[in-house]
Amino acid sequence: MSTQLVGFVGLGALGTHMARNLALHRATAGLSPLLIWNRTVAKSQKLAEDLGLNKVRVAETLEDLATECDVVITNLANDAVSKDVYGVFVKAVKASAPKSRIFVETSTIHPSFATELKTLITALPSTQFVASPVFGSPPVAEKAQLILLMSGEPEPVKEISSILCPAVGAKVLEMGEDIEKAPTLKLIGNSFILGSLEILAECQTLAEKTGLGAQGAQNLAKIFYTPPLCAYGDKMLNHAFDGSQGFSLNGGIKDATHVQSLAKTHGTPMPALEAARVHLVKAREIHEREIAVGKSGVGVLDVASLVTAVREEAGVAKNH
């Protein structure tokens, strides 16, 4: 059994599948169990119970995971959470015996924050940092078919590629040594999605108001768009906005805000994305109103729910 210890932090909708697949792959290859940690301890315990202690061990604290492991992989909700977690890592590593470590951030974060994390981590002795955001929904992650973007120094990128692919991903796209490249491409990729959803929502709503019907617009969209984007259109038609296993509305707002910041820095207007961001925020407000009067049974909204804001502005009932 390999003596290299790998840790995973963050068992959300995506991270749970990533950790599960990584643990199973390592066990099949005769490697050491995956050490995991999650803020909600019950999620860690459940994964350990499901897979067995020969595949997964639960770290008592973040500090324990950071000091024990040679490789630490994180998948977290947003930049603020990531900043808190990496702050704990740094304090723990400073207080521990020096050894070679690689920290890998797979969350979708602002490119400048990736530089901040790299500076923080690489200031520690013998410690390296790789930015590796991923493309793919939870069902894609469950099948270990994620696309992994990676930027960082060649040696740690090569090592992390071998750990994560094919264990959790189908393909690695190496983006070079500039740590900001992978997070930038990830945000641009999500801009494709969010901008397309805005157009889908607008066209379905216009089709409804002109008497053609939203279904007619969706049928046409299926000629032009890829199946994943068309699936969002179907969600809009059916008011199926459970985001617990998809691209969450809050995640969409976070990403759109990051992209607009990046676009402003580089002098690139993105009106379609801004329209999507505004409608995502308004969709959240609509959802909060529905919760207040007991009309919503959905806890986590999907980004497809932005259509509710477009419909409301146009005076179209939500069930159309």
Query: What does the pLDDT look like over 67-114, one tens digit per residue?
Result: 999 999 999 999 999 999 999 999 999 999 999 999 999 999 999 999
Q: How far is CA 190 from CA 84, 109, 131, 247, 258, in A?
A: 24, 12, 17, 10, 11
Residue pair 182/104 in contact by the 8 Å Cβ criterion = no
Residue pair 112/131 in contact by the 8 Å Cβ criterion = no
Going by the DSSP 8-state scheme, the letter that residue 242 receives in this structure is: B
Mean pLDDT of 147-175: 98
pLDDT value of position 318: 58
pLDDT value of position 114: 98
Residue pair 167/190 in contact by the 8 Å Cβ criterion = no
- Stated as kind and residue range, the H or E segment containing 154 is helix 154-164
pTM over the 0.85 mark: yes
C-beta atoms surrounding 317 within 10 Å: 8
Structure-block tokens of residue 262:
């990046």
Calculate the average pLDDT of the chain: 96
pLDDT value of position 297: 76
Q: Compare 297 and 194 and report the one with higher pLDDT.
A: 194
Residues belonging to the active site: 186
Q: How far is CA 245 from CA 10, 90, 138, 256, in A?
A: 15, 32, 6, 20
Structural domains in the chain, CATH included, are: 6-176 (3.40.50.720), 184-314 (1.10.1040.10)
Q: Compare 295 and 95 and report the one with higher pLDDT.
A: 95
Q: How far is CA 216 from CA 14, 229, 234, 235, 266, in A?
A: 33, 16, 12, 15, 38
Helix 41-51 with 15-28: angle, nearest 10 deg? 30
Query: For the chain, what percent of residues have pLDDT higher than 90?
Result: 94
pLDDT value of position 268: 98
pLDDT value of position 2: 64
Residues 6+ apart with CB under 8 A from 298: 241, 242, 243, 287
pLDDT value of position 320: 44
Taking 80 as the threshold, does the pLDDT of residue 312 lie above it? yes
